[in-house]
């Protein structure tokens, strides 16, 4: 064999190793900025970002140019890339992040402090901002809320009157249970309500169910976010978990419901986020069960009998990367542009979610519509998920408490979950 031929793979290997070097990013050139988003370029949301950035580049031609990078969030790839960039000190100028992870990213120095970049008036323009230790680190891209989708025909047959229930006058846990008892009495149903108690493998159960604990005056962690014992398993928190256990014990809900049970009239109510509205509107798929919007409705979260009304919120947010660029003025200009009312409308037109910018919420929903219920709830009763550096650990602990609720009861499942969370949080001190 010609020895020169052998040199080819050797040279290729050497070059491939050389290629593993650091990327060439010039942080002194303030006219070129980088922005990274967590969705696929071809997705609807991706198209929204493209539209916004194209408009920004056009309006700032010759002054600022933004390079948009798409890293689809699949199997933790997006987060891993952020971790790698942090290690190499090559974070993008602006990137998106999952809002509950704000404390984690802020504590570990991923995020630039925005407190002085946004005036109080500007901050008041958003329903919920992402803070850590009172400092502002993230501006929401869009918002989300959830509620109880209900089958109007079943409610009529069961004799349940929900006409007086509004976000300002929500139903109570007792009224909710009464409705469940009536629904359960209907023949041919699996249960009354799909509470998504089976969705503990990801964030779904945590996102949908934490308001019940807050409604009873409960909590999850202390103000430092590093202690869970006597918070997660406080008497009030257990009241919230007890409400869920009661629904299980009475057979109103279960852990074995399928994702389509509400859509196929197996249950009368379904706890879900705003994503379900376009799903129900998909007449090709569900037309025989829900032919139009008169066949279903949306109710707000019930509140504890002696508690307050609480609902969920939070989606993904924008943050400025804590990278070597010292002059952040142009990045702040970009952030303000992509979070203004116009951009907020653009992105939510693509995703169907609720605009995070209050100005953009004007005209978003028709009065009395399902979207209106979610919007009102978001602005009036929504409370953010707990602020803790160990949010991933909290979410696991919450899922664990829910999973074991049926078999072990409230005391053991919640105490064990609190113990678990306390141990995991102790590793972050």
Partner 1 sequence: MALIALYVFAAFIVIFLAVFIKDFIKNRKSHYKYHKGEVIMAFVLLAPSVVLAFFLVLLPIITSLGFSFTNYTLGDPNNISLAGGDGFGNFRDLISEFQIKGDFYHAIKNTAIFVVFVVPIQIGLALGLALFVNNKRRGTTIFKVCFFAPVAVSLSVTAFFWREVLANRPDGIMNSILANFGIPNQDFLGTDKILGWMIAISAWQGCGYQMLIFLSALGNIRKDLYEAARVDGANSFQRFKTVTIPGLRPTMLFILITVFIGACRVLIQPMLLDQGVYPGSVTLSLYMYNQGQKYGNVGLSCAVALLMTIVIGSITFLQRQLLKEKKK
Cα 406 to its chain centre, rounded Å, is: 26
Place of tokens 């409604």: 215
Q: Of the two residues 4 and 58, which places its CB atom closer to partner 1 in the complex?
A: 4
Q: Of the two residues 113 and 416, which places its CB atom closer to partner 1 in the complex?
A: 416
Q: How far is the CB of 208 from partner 1 (least distance, A)?
A: 16
| b/e map 281-299, b = 16+ CB within 10 Å | beeeebeebbeeeeebbbb
Q: Of the two residues 385 and 403, which places its CB atom closer to partner 1 in the complex?
A: 403
Q: How far is the CB of 256 from partner 1 (least distance, A)?
A: 4
Q: Of the two residues 333 and 419, which places its CB atom closer to partner 1 in the complex?
A: 419
User: CB–CB of 247/183 below 8 Å?
Assistant: no
**CA-CA distance, 158 to 161, in Å (whole number)?**
9
Q: Of the two residues 47 and 204, which places its CB atom closer to partner 1 in the complex?
A: 204
User: CB–CB of 362/344 below 8 Å?
Assistant: no
Q: What residues make contact with partner 1 under the rule CB under 8 A? A: 3, 6, 9-10, 13, 76, 83, 86-87, 89, 104-105, 107-110, 190, 200-201, 255-258, 390, 392-393, 396, 399-400, 403-404, 407, 416, 419-420, 423-424, 427
Pairs from 162-165 (Cβ < 8 Å, separation ≥ 24): 162/297, 162/299, 165/299, 165/300
Q: Parallel, antiparallel, or unpaired for β 94-98 and 316-320?
A: antiparallel
Q: Of the two residues 170 and 254, which places its CB atom closer to partner 1 in the complex?
A: 254
Q: Of the two residues 79 and 122, which places its CB atom closer to partner 1 in the complex?
A: 79
Q: How far is the CB of 283 from partner 1 (least distance, A)?
A: 24
391-426 vs 235-249: helix axis angle to the nearest 10? 130
Q: How far is the CB of 405 from partner 1 (least distance, A)?
A: 12
Q: Residue 284 has which token pair?
A: 């090709």
Q: How far is the CB of 294 from partner 1 (least distance, A)?
A: 29
User: CB–CB of 105/137 below 8 Å?
Assistant: yes
Q: Of the two residues 201 and 284, which places its CB atom closer to partner 1 in the complex?
A: 201
> Among 207, 148, 142, 208, which residue's Cα sits nearest to residue 176?
148
DSSP conformational letter for 177: H
Edge-to-edge order in the sheet of strand 135-140: 65-70, 32-37, 94-98, 316-320, 135-140, 130-132
DSSP conformational letter for 201: S
| b/e map 92-112, b = 16+ CB within 10 Å | bbbbbbbbbbbbbbbbeebbb
Q: Of the two residues 258 and 278, which places its CB atom closer to partner 1 in the complex?
A: 258
**CA-CA distance, 249 to 245, in Å (whole number)?**
6
């Amino acid at each position: 064999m010609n020895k020169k031929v052998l040199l080819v793979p050797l040279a290729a290997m050497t070059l491939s190793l050389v290629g593993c070097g650091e990327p060439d990013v010039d942080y002194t050139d303030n006219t070129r900025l980088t922005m990274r988003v967590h969705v696929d370029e071809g997705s609807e949301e991706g198209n929204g970002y493209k539209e916004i950035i194209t408009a920004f580049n056009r309006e700032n031609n010759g002054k600022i140019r933004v390079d948009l990078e798409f890293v689809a969030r699949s199997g933790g790839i997006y987060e891993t890339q952020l971790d790698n960039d942090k290690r190499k000190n090559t974070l993008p100028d602006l990137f998106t992040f999952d809002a509950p992870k704000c404390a984690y990213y802020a504590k570990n120095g991923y995020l630039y402090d925005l407190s002085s970049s946004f005036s109080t008036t500007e901050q008041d323009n958003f329903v919920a901002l992402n803070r850590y230790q009172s400092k502002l680190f993230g501006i929401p891209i869009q918002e989300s809320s959830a509620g109880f989708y209900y089958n109007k025909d079943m409610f009529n047959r069961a004799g349940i009157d929900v006409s007086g229930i509004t976000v300002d006058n929500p139903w109570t846990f007792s009224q909710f249970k009464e409705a469940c008892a009536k629904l359960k009495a209907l023949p041919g149903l699996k249960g009354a309500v799909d509470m998504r108690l089976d969705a503990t493998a990801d964030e779904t159960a945590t996102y949908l169910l934490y308001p019940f604990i807050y409604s009873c005056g409960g909590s999850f962690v202390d103000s430092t976010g590093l202690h869970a014992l006597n918070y997660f398993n406080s008497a009030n928190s257990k009241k919230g978990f007890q409400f869920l256990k009661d629904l299980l014990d009475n057979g109103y809900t279960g852990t074995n419901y399928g994702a389509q049970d509400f859509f196929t009239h197996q249950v009368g109510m379904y706890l879900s986020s705003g994503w379900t509205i376009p799903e129900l509107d998909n007449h090709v798929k569900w037309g025989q069960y829900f032919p139009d919007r008169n066949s279903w409705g949306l109710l707000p979260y019930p509140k504890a009998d002696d508690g307050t009304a609480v609902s969920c919120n939070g989606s993904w947010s924008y943050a400025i990367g804590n990278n070597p660029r010292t002059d952040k003025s142009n990045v702040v200009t970009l952030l303000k542009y992509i979070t203004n009312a116009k951009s907020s409308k653009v992105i939510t037109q693509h995703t169907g979610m609720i605009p995070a910018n209050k100005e953009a919420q004007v005209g978003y929903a028709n009065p009395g519509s399902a979207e209106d219920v979610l919007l009102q709830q978001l602005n009036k009763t929504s409370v953010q998920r707990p602020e803790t550096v160990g949010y991933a650990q909290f979410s696991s602990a919450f899922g664990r408490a829910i999973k074991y609720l049926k078999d072990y009861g409230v005391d053991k499942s919640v105490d064990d979950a609190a113990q678990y969370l306390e141990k995991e949080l102790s590793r972050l001190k």
